Amino acid sequence: MNIGFDLDKVFIGYPFFLPDFIIDRLYKKKTNGELIYRIPKKPEQLLRLLIHHPLLRQPIKENIEFMRNLASKNTHRHYLISSRLGFLKNKTLNIIKKHKLNKLFEDLYFNFDNKQAHLFKNEIIQKLKIDLYVDDDRELLIFLAKKNPKTKFFWLNKKIKKTLEKNLFAINTLPEMFS
């Protein structure tokens, strides 16, 4: 089985002082029902580089430990599929190395070419024939679930736990994806 995971809010937390809705508002919007992710201009890139400092982006230890246990069983192929943009490449690679995430996955895929996040992830999910995929972005998962009906998608969130679509499930913890 091929299992994909997002990076942010799955293995690496958001800064504690920024509410999720602010980050979501900065990154994405819907225009005429179509999901669009903003590629920031240079001044905002500098601000986001500061916000992506490792001290502000702490690891989500229980999820990394879960992934270590899952990887040690060696029964599935695991992929990290993150839509982090090109200007964050060095910060991203440093945090991957620091937390040894590269050792837990068959391969790592990043959106360093700055494609639209949902299109990038859809392309990789189809290329790798992903069976299960976990992300924190509900709108992105709704898009992906419609495009990939044979894949099971999991929205990792802290509040809701239920079926959202035929192949999209809200979960509170990573182990729930196997129940």
**Residue 7, CA distances (Å) to 30, 47, 63 in order:** 23, 20, 11
Report how far residue 119's alpha carbon sits from residue 115's, in angstroms, rounded to the nearest whole number. 7
What order of strands is seen across the sheet that includes strand 152-156? Answer: 107-111, 77-85, 2-5, 132-135, 152-156, 168-171, 162-165
- In the chain, pLDDT over 90 holds for what percent of residues? 78
In the numeric block, the tokens 């879960």 are attached to 66
DSSP annotation string for 27-71: HEEEETTEEEE----HHHHHHHHHHT-TTTS-B-HHHHHHHHHHH
Q: Which of 11-15, 49-53, 105-109 has the lowest mean pLDDT?
A: 49-53
**Residue 76, CA distances (Å) to 1, 69, 106, 130, 154 in order:** 5, 12, 9, 11, 17
The CATH code for residues 2-178 is 3.40.50.1000
Other residues' Cβ atoms within 10 Å of the Cβ of residue 171: 18
**Per-residue pLDDT tens for 106-148?**
999 999 999 999 999 999 999 999 999 999 999 999 999 999 9
Neighbour-count burial for 42-71, b at 16+ CB within 10 Å, e otherwise: eeeeeebeebbeeeebebbeebbebbeebe
In the numeric block, the tokens 């903003």 are attached to 38
pLDDT confidence of residue 125: 98
Q: Domains of the chain: which residue ranges?
A: 2-178
Residue 26 pLDDT greater than 70, yes or no: no
Rounded (5°) CA angle 125-160-27: 55
